[in-house]
A and B are shown apart, each in its own frame.
Chain A
Amino acid sequence: MYTSLAFSFMPYKTILSPRASITTQDNKNVYRTKVSRNPTMEKLQYNYLFPEISEREAQHAKKYPNAKIISLGIGDTTEPLPDVVASSMANYAYSLSTRTGYRGYGAEQGSKDLRKAIAETFYKDMGIQGAEVFVSDGAQCDISRLQMLFGSNMSIAVQDPIFPAYIDSSVIIGQTGDVEQGSGRYQNIEYMRCDPHHNFFPDLSKTARTDIIFFCSPNNPTGHAASWEQLEQLVKLAQENGSIIVYDSAYAVYITDGSPRSIYEIPGAKKVAIEVSSFSKIAGFTGVRLGWTVVPKELLYSNGFPVINDFNRIICTCFNGASRIAQAGGLASLSSEGFKSVMSLVDYYKSNAEILLETFESLGLKAYGGVNAPYLWVHFPGSNSWDVFNEILEKTHIITVPGSGFGPAGKEYIRVTAFGHRENILEASDRLRSLLL
Chain B
Amino acid sequence: LDKSSVPTPRHHVRVYDEEENDVTPQPLHQGECGAGPIKNNRFFLDEISAGLSVDQMTTTGSSFSLPFSRSILSSSKFSSQSSIDSVNLETEEGFSKRDLPIHIPDAQSKKSSPVKEEVTEENLDELLDVFLSETDTISLLDLPSCFVSSEAEDAQIVTERNKKYAELCKNKAGNEKYMERSVQTLDPPVKHKLVESDSVNTAEAGTFVSTWEMFDSLCGLEQDASVRTESEQEQVGTETLLSSSRAEHSTSLGSSSGTESVTSSMKDLESLELLSVSETDLQLLLSSDTFHHSLLAMERSLVANCLQRKLAAFRLLPVLPDPYVAPPSETPEEEQAQKSPEPEVSGPALVHLWSFTCELTQGRRVNSMVWNKKNPDLLAVGYGASESSSSPGLVCCWSLKNITWPERVVSCDSPVTALDFSVKNPSQLAVGMEDGTVMICNVQTHHSSSSSSHFLHSRQCPNKHVEPVLQLKWTLQEISLREDTDEALVSVATDGRVCKWLSPTVDSHMMRLKRVKSAKRSSSSENKGETKPENILSALTPGMCFHFHPKGPVINVWWSPLCSDVFLSCSSDWTVQLWKEERFTPALSFSSAHRAVLDAQWSPKAATVFGVVNEDRLEIWDLQHSILDPLLVWAAPPSVSLTSLLFTSHTDCALVGDNSGQVSVYLLSEVYSAQGTQAEALEEIIQASLSR
Do A and B pair up? The answer is no
Chain A residues with CB under 8 Å of chain B are: none
